[in-house]
Structures are given as structure tokens and as C-alpha cells.
A and B are shown apart, each in its own frame.
Chain A
Amino acid sequence: MNSTQQALPRLIERLPPGRVMQDAAFGVAFESDGLTAFHQKPLAVVIPETTEEVVTTVRWCHEAKIPFVARGSGTSLSGGSLPIAGGIVIALNRLKKILSLDPVNRTAVVQPGVVNIKVTQAALQHGLYFAPDPSSQTVCTIGGNVAFNSGGAHCLKYGMTSNHVTGMKVVLANGECVEFGSDSTDAIGPDYPGLFCGSEGLFGIATEITLRLLPKPEKFHTVLVGYRTLQAAGDAVSAVIESGLLPGAMEIMDALSIEAAEAAVNCGYPKGCAAVLIVELEGPRERVEYETEQLRTIIARTDPFAEHIATTEAERLSIWKGRKCVFSAVGHISPDFLVQDGVVPRNRLGEALVHIQEISRDSGIRVANVFHAGDGNLHPMILYDGNVAGEFHRAEEVCSRIIKMCIDMGGSITGEHGVGMEKRDFLPDMFDAATIELFHRIRGAFDPQEVANRGKMFPAADAPSLSMSGLHPLEKQGVISRE
């Protein structure tokens, strides 16, 4: 019996019945997250129902020096919510209440297990919505959004999750409960809610989160433009940016991605183009109508191969359906795939895509490209067949080369998925030793015993077992996607 198993009865005593699950079969559901290449069986799964139960559990972990990982829906794509060897999973799915929603202040206070889309669904009755919209927003939870500072297609205009978090109640890694920020968008003193967002579960667990809500845009103007080359699509993005427009979203998909989307949802994108660009303007109708004319003129100058303007909400959703489904759709054209999340300066997107094509050619591994063109966030999908000897390894090498390219171009190793397990070895390529040492010291301030999500983000030797796996079960059902 190991130390966790020996200590577990003391936790069970402190919690109401039914909170601690030790059944191995139950644990299987938690042994992996959206990055199915990694898996690790937890020794137990704790399912708290109150902040106090989270405090009890975390305090026990601190006292017993047992590592824990907090988890919501498990849609992390960087292995951020992978269980830790010898540790427990704290599943926050029952902390799923929207505690308050204040249309006067335009804020909502939510528990971490609230699914992203539920916030907007609740806010819409007041004409408000929650701007951060990862593609997995129908499943992913706010706690995970906060942990990884997720974004989605609208980050250029609206920023990442942290831009929409003003306060939180946090259970620190020693079990102490503290409050950061407030319901005001202003504050005095260092911005602790900002620091906590994106800390990947290494500081503790946010159990109440105050979110900023925005008025839902009155009008959308959504255009799908086909191009003969990827470069032309990239150039069109530059043209839009240079015009002074600030679209809500600009997305590009290459031919392989289009093929996958068509195979999955028959989205009706123009046939024969090498890439499509989706541009969406949003705002008051008068403003959008003016900008629509500007955009029309700009697009006309970019030598489009085909153009489709959504004239109804159904057509708009159809355009987005193809884009949003593409990650799960890749399963139609490849048995397995890895997805990357690098960022490059926007004006080097074309160069980056050419380089990715070269890497693909060199390795013999197909790469499908989808990216948030407005903010330079690449999501190349590296397609492989896990049943072919050596293919997974070659796919991993392709990932490494793409990430190194992003760093060399002055970008980032992650735009929204986080570092997690997947990219921890690349952290020193992006940050120098002194900066990583500072990260360690900050982590040490929050969690001197390193019980909170131990082994993530920072380079470490003790990797969990690695296996080749295909789509996450939820991806197979088209419920979530790797974005």
C-alpha cells in the first residue's frame, strides 16, 4: 500500500459520504484528458460539492504531501489535467452553479464546474454574453478556461479569458482560502486575478470566479472567401488589418481542413480552393453596415476565388459549423492526429505555413492547418496512423519542429492550450533560465510542497506513461474539438 492509499482514510473521514471514489473502473474515465497520448490512472477521484470540501481535500493533500490535479470536463489539450502518479484527481463538475448574475454591473459569479456556454445562455436574457468562446465551449468549464487562459476565435478583439475575470475566491495549495480582485474592473495593488489566470492549476483551485459580461453584438456580418493559395488568404488578413478594421474573428482553413470539414458536416465551402478565410464583423448595425462596405472593397482587391456572404443566421452558423467541427472532423481523414497551438507574429503567417508544408514534406506526415489568423494562433493538425510503426514518433517530431519555428519567429509555444505536460520541455526555449527561476519561486510561494498539479508546465523527468491513442471519446461524438 502506498502513502496515498494509507492516508486516504483520513480524507474520507473528513468528507461527506460518496465524495471519494476509489473504484478502478471509475478512475479510468479520469486517466486521460483531451491529449489522449498521455494517460495515468489516479489513485482516487474526489468529487467535492462545496468550497469547504475543496478546502478539506486540498488541506489533506498539503498535509500528506500528496499531489492533486483539479479537473473539469477534461478537455485540456496539453495534458494539463492528466492525473499525477501517486496523486488524486479533484473533479469540480458538481461545483456548477451560477451563483449570481448582475445585469447592472454586467458580471456573473460562477463556480468552476460551470460549462462555458451556460454563462452566455444565462446572460442572454439580459442581452449579455461571455466573450471567451473556446471551440469546446459546449463542454469545457470556466475553471479550466481560467486555468489555461483559454480564448477561442475572438481573442484579437476581446482578449483571452483573463481579460474577462475580475475576481475570484481561491483555495491555495496549502488549503488556505483567499479572495483576489472584486466585481469592479478596477483595483488597487498588483493584479492577482490576472496572475492566477493561466497558472495551469499550479497555484490552487478557484472555487468562485467573477466574470465580466459584454452586451451581445446586435449584428454580425460573416464572409467566407476562398483563395487559390494559402499565401493569398494570409495576404487578405494583412489587407484587412491594414485597413483599420477590427473584426470579431478572422479564421483560415487550408485544403486538407476543408476536406475534413466537408466529409464530416457537408458545410458547403467553395470547391477547389486552397484555403478559405472567414471574416466576421460585429456590432451595432449602422457600424457593421459601414464596415461591410469597407470589407467588400478590401476583399475584392485580394483576388478571391470564391466568396459567400451569410445572409441569414442559419447561413452564418453553417459557415461556423465547418470551422468549429474541423478538429473532430479530421477523424474522417486520418486515424490519429496531434494538434499544435503555436503562435507566430501575424505578418509571418505566410512564411510559417510555407515552413510547415516543408516540414510535412520532409517527414512524410500530412499536416492540416486551421488557425486564428487575426492573432497568429496556429492549430496545425499532424495526421498519423498509430498502427504504423514509427509514425507517432515522426508526428511528434513534426510537432517539435513547428513549435521551435514559432519560438524562432518571436511567437509563443501556446496561444490557448497551455504548456501542460505536452510542451513543458519547450518552456526553456521560450524563457531564459532567470525567468523560469522566477516562475519556480512564484510557484513556490503559492505551493511550497508542489502538490498542485505537480509535474506540469515545468520541465521534469517523471513523465507518465505514453501511449498512442486516437480521438477522445467526446471528440468522436463531435462534442468537443481540439482548439
Chain B
Amino acid sequence: MSSNAALQPNSIDEVRDAVLASTRVKVVGNQTKPPLCSHHDSCDVVSLGQLSGVVEYQPSEYTFTALAGTKVSEVAEVLAERGQYLPFDPMRIRAGATLGGTIASGLSGPGRFRYGSIRDFLIGAKLMLGDATVVHVGGKVVKNAAGFDIPKLLVGSAGELGAMLEVTFKVFPKPPATATLKLPCESSQQATDRMADAALRRWELDAIDYHYDTSTLYMRQRGPAEANRLIAAEIESQFGNLERLDEDEANALWNSITELNWSGDGSHVVKIPSTTRHAATLCDTIAAAMPIQLHISGCGNVVWAALTEEDGLDELESLLVTHNHRGLCVCGPSNRTKLNPHNETNIEAAVQQAFDPTGRFKS
């Protein structure tokens, strides 16, 4: 591995030149998920951070198109001016995450629970393939069933299918108010039981997260303030005494989750896909075996694990192997990315070849 200085193309033509000039290319954005930006010595690093700017924003269409290197925070500001937002809570945006990097890493925050994750909001992309041809996949309207849904395949692809140049997202109107409820739990199992219960209720919560280390369940509502207040009273009647966070506390909480700040600087942070049913057992098993910080997000669909020592990644991986889970290391100084990776299947290799016949983007 190396830290080759990144090329910084300013145009699609320059991206094409950079791709064609290299036999192996690692495409990066602002490198806010460092392990995902690790690469072989032979790779030329191409940063798309200079390809930045909102190309088209149609508030009445609930869509925007922007260059892939655009910071998500910049987009969020533009959307907020028209009362709109990306409901899946994009991650690491204060750290400078770009749209392309957010797609490539496949990360979604707590808001994924209500309307779906990043895959459900990416509707189109302009993509440079391994042979430097440019394709336009998906579309710019919120409903579109034409052609193969390649935008979805790009989510989580870590830049191995091509260099994203421009992307189009669906957005939603931002509800008028947000309220965050805090509920101490006796155990992780009780917490996930309550998650499952709350998720089935009429309340239509916006986010349900559990901070394992403080045994605290957080529930977020979005909607008219008065409706939030009335529904919160019912939740309290079901679950017991709730604390309602004030706006600053709530913002600090959700920001710490989306920015992964709760884990502390320098931690290795690993994403582990899970389910409401299995998250508590998984966390209890990991916590019993090793010193680690854990956070359950998306109503149990993601477990975030943070550890300070790189050696701990081996131990965590062995636990994931035992329990048939996989992990993706997204923060920290390690160059390791996947824990308990599955072997590439024939079809995955063939699809990769279709996008990148020369293997330029393949890690």
C-alpha cells in the first residue's frame, strides 16, 4: 500500500486522460473513509474532489444533479434553503464527504429506517468505465424503470466499477419539526425488543438507534411539532419515562452518529450489517469477547463497532466469521477494509469485467 499523491482532474476530459494514462486507478473523493481509499503501490490515485458543484436542482421535482465530487454538506445547504433534505442521513458530511464517496462506500445514517437507505434515493449517474467511455445510467425523474438499474449497483461498489462523474438523487420535503426521545434500557435485548415493538406501531418513527455502551435507546420523530408531542406521550405510556432532548442535544447526538464521532478520534470503525432480530446477540457476543464500543443503528440493521487497537480487527473478524456476519472498516488508520469478506462469485467477477474490461479500477 502507498499514499501516492492524488491527481486532481478538473474536468471529465482530464479524468479520461488520467484513467487512460494508468493501468490501475484508485478513485477517491475527499477520503473521509480512509480505509476505503487504501490502494496498491501500483495504483494512481485520482481524486474527483475538483469535480464539484450542483448542476441542476428542481425543487418541484424532488431531484437534484451534482458532480460527484460535490460535498454532501454543500448539497444539504442548497436543499435546506427550499425545505428539502436527504432522508437517509448521509454520513461523514461534516468531515467533507462527497456525493460520489457516499455512494461508493454505501453508508447511510439513522434516517435510513423510515424511507430507505442511499440506494433508494440515487436515481441516476454519469459514469466513466474502465475503458474510459462515459455512460449515463438511470435517469433524472423519480420514477423510471427503463434499462438496468445500474445506479443501485454503484452503491457500495467502492469505485471498482468505474469513476462516478455526476449523480442524480431523489430528495424529500423536510418535515416541519424533529423530536428526539431518550430511553434507558436494561439490556441490549430489551433495547432491540423495544425497537421491534416501536417499529411495528402506528408512530412511524424516523430513526431508532441504540448506544450500546450507555444502554440508551434513541427514537427520533419527524412531523408537525404538536403531533410529535402527542405521539411521544403515547410512546412514554408504553415504554416508561422518556427524556426529550432539546434541539442542541439532539443535533449533537445525531451528528455524532452520522459523523462516527462517538467512537473517538483514531478509532477503527467497522460497519456490520445485521437485523433487528440479531443485533443484540451480536453486540453482546462481541462486547463479551473484547474491549470495543458498539452502536446499533437503523433499527438494528447496522451495528457500528469501534476499537482503538488494530490488532482488535483480527479478533473482531474471527467473531464475525463465527456468527456469519461481515464487516467493512470505514474509519481509522488501518488499510484493512473488509472483515470476513466473501469470495468473489463468478457472476460478480463477470459483472466487474463488463464495467471494467481492463481491470483498471479493481482493487
A residues bordering B, Cβ < 8 Å?
A: 102-107, 126-128, 148-151, 155-160, 162-163, 172, 176, 178, 182-195, 197-199, 215, 217-218, 238, 241-242, 244-246, 283-287, 289-291, 343-347, 372, 375-377, 410-419, 423, 427, 430-432, 434-435, 437-439, 441-446, 457
Q: Is the CB of A188 within 8 A of B354?
A: no
Measured in the bound complex, the distance between the Cα atoms of B300 and A105 in whole Å is 9
Q: Is the CB of A155 within 8 A of B143?
A: yes
Q: Which of A103, A126, A375 contacts B143 (CB 8 A)?
A: A375
Name the B residues within 8 Å of A290 (CB-CB).
Answer: 223-224, 226-227
For window 270-314 of chain B, which residues contact chain A by CB distance below 8 Å? 271, 273-277, 298, 300-302
Name the A residues within 8 Å of B172 (CB-CB).
Answer: 246
Name the A residues within 8 Å of B129 (CB-CB).
Answer: 438
Measured in the bound complex, the distance between the Cα atoms of B233 and A289 in whole Å is 17
Q: Which of A156, A217, A430, A431 has the most CB of B within 10 A?
A: A431
Contact with A along B182-203 (1 / 0, CB 8 A): 0000000000000010011111
- Chain B: number of interface residues, binned into ranges: 35 or more
Q: Is the CB of A178 within 8 A of B345?
A: yes
Known contacts being A149-B149, A286-B231, is A185 close to B112, with CB within 8 Å?
yes
22 pairs across A/B with beta carbons < 8 Å? Answer: A103-B196, A128-B200, A156-B143, A163-B116, A172-B347, A178-B345, A184-B273, A185-B116, A186-B117, A186-B271, A186-B302, A187-B106, A187-B156, A188-B106, A189-B156, A189-B157, A194-B151, A199-B148, A417-B145, A419-B145, A438-B355, A441-B355
Q: Is the CB of B204 within 8 A of A194?
A: no
User: Which A-chain residue is minimally distant from B83 (CB atoms)?
Assistant: A244
Q: Which of A218, A431, A457 contacts B136 (CB 8 A)?
A: A431
Name the A residues within 8 Å of B276 (CB-CB).
Answer: 104-106
Name the B residues within 8 Å of A163 (CB-CB).
Answer: 116, 119-120
The 7 closest A-B pairs by CB, nearest first: A194-B152, A445-B350, A286-B227, A441-B354, A218-B202, A186-B273, A412-B144
Q: Is the CB of B108 within 8 A of A186?
A: yes
Q: Which of A185, A193, A245, A446 contacts B117 (CB 8 A)?
A: A185
Known contacts being A159-B116, A345-B61, is A126 close to B200, with CB within 8 Å?
yes
Name the A residues within 8 Å of B223 (CB-CB).
Answer: 283-284, 286-287, 290
User: Which B-chain residue is minimally distant from A290 (CB atoms)?
Assistant: B224
Q: How far is the CB of A162 from the nearest CB of chain B, in Å?
A: 6
Known contacts being A287-B223, A435-B136, is A160 close to B141, with CB within 8 Å?
no
Q: Is the CB of A187 within 8 A of B142?
A: no
Q: Is the CB of A215 within 8 A of B144?
A: no
User: Which B-chain residue is minimally distant from A407 (CB atoms)?
Assistant: B146
Known contacts being A186-B117, A191-B153, is A442 close to B134, with CB within 8 Å?
no
Name the B residues within 8 Å of A446 (CB-CB).
Answer: 347, 350-351
B residues bordering A, Cβ < 8 Å?
A: 58-62, 83, 106, 108, 112, 115-117, 119-120, 129, 133-137, 139-158, 160-161, 172-176, 196, 199-204, 223-224, 226-227, 230-231, 271, 273-277, 298, 300-302, 326-328, 338, 345-348, 350-351, 353-355
Name the A residues within 8 Å of B59 (CB-CB).
Answer: 242
Name the A residues within 8 Å of B355 (CB-CB).
Answer: 438, 441-442
Name the A residues within 8 Å of B354 (CB-CB).
Answer: 438, 441-442, 444-445
Name the A residues within 8 Å of B157 (CB-CB).
Answer: 189-190
Known contacts being A104-B277, A218-B202, is A410 close to B347, with CB within 8 Å?
no
User: Which A-chain residue is minimally distant from B354 (CB atoms)?
Assistant: A441
Q: Is the CB of A287 within 8 A of B227?
A: yes
Name the A residues within 8 Å of B139 (CB-CB).
Answer: 343, 411-412, 430
Q: Which of B60, B61, B120, B160 contacts A159 (CB 8 A)?
A: B120
Q: Is the CB of B204 within 8 A of A195?
A: no
User: Which B-chain residue is minimally distant from A78 (CB atoms)?
Assistant: B145
User: Which A-chain residue is minimally distant from B349 (CB atoms)?
Assistant: A445
Name the B residues within 8 Å of A191 (CB-CB).
Answer: 106, 119, 152-156
Q: Which of A186, A217, A427 contacts B146 (CB 8 A)?
A: A427
Q: How far is the CB of B88 from the nearest CB of chain A, in Å?
A: 10
Name the B residues within 8 Å of A238 (CB-CB).
Answer: 60
Name the A residues within 8 Å of B158 (CB-CB).
Answer: 189
Q: Is the CB of B145 within 8 A of A416?
A: yes
Q: How far is the CB of B33 from the nearest CB of chain A, in Å?
A: 13
Measured in the bound complex, the distance between the Cα atoms of B147 and A411 in whole Å is 13
Known contacts being A105-B276, A155-B142, A445-B350, is A430 close to B152, with CB within 8 Å?
no
Measured in the bound complex, the distance between the Cα atoms of B148 and A246 in whole Å is 28
User: Which A-chain residue is minimally distant from B117 (CB atoms)?
Assistant: A185
Q: Is the CB of B144 within 8 A of A415?
A: yes
Measured in the bound complex, the distance between the Cα atoms of B166 and A105 in whole Å is 35
Q: Is the CB of B146 within 8 A of A413?
A: yes
Measured in the bound complex, the distance between the Cα atoms of B224 and A286 in whole Å is 9
